[in-house]
Structure 1
Amino acid sequence: MNAYNLVVLDMAGTTVADGGLVERAFASAAGRLGVEPGSAEHATMLDYVRATMGESKISVFRHLFGDETKAQRANAAFEEAYGELVDGGLIAPIPGARTAVEQLQSEGRTVVLTTGFARVTQDAILDALGWRDLVALTLCPADAGGRGRPYPDMVLSAFLRTGAVDSVRDMAVAGDTSYDMLGGVRSGAGVVAGVLTGAHDTGALTAAGATHVIDSIAQLPGLITELESRR
Structure 2
Amino acid sequence: MPSTKLASQTYIEMNVDFSTPVLIKGGDNTYGPTPMAGVERMMFERRGDEIARRATSCVRYAPGSSFKPHSHPGGEEYIVLQGTFSDENGDFSQGMYVRNPVGSTHAPLTKEGCEIFVKLSQLPSTEPDYFYLNTKETEWTSVNEHHKTLPLWNSDLEETALHQFKAGFESAEEIFNKVVEIFVLSGRANINGSGYEKYSWMRFPPATPITITTESGTVVYRKIGLGEVRL
TM-score, normalised to structure 1's length? 0.26
Higher RCO, Cα 8 Å, sep 6+? 1
TM-score, normalised to structure 2's length? 0.26
| Bigger proportion of residues as strand | 2
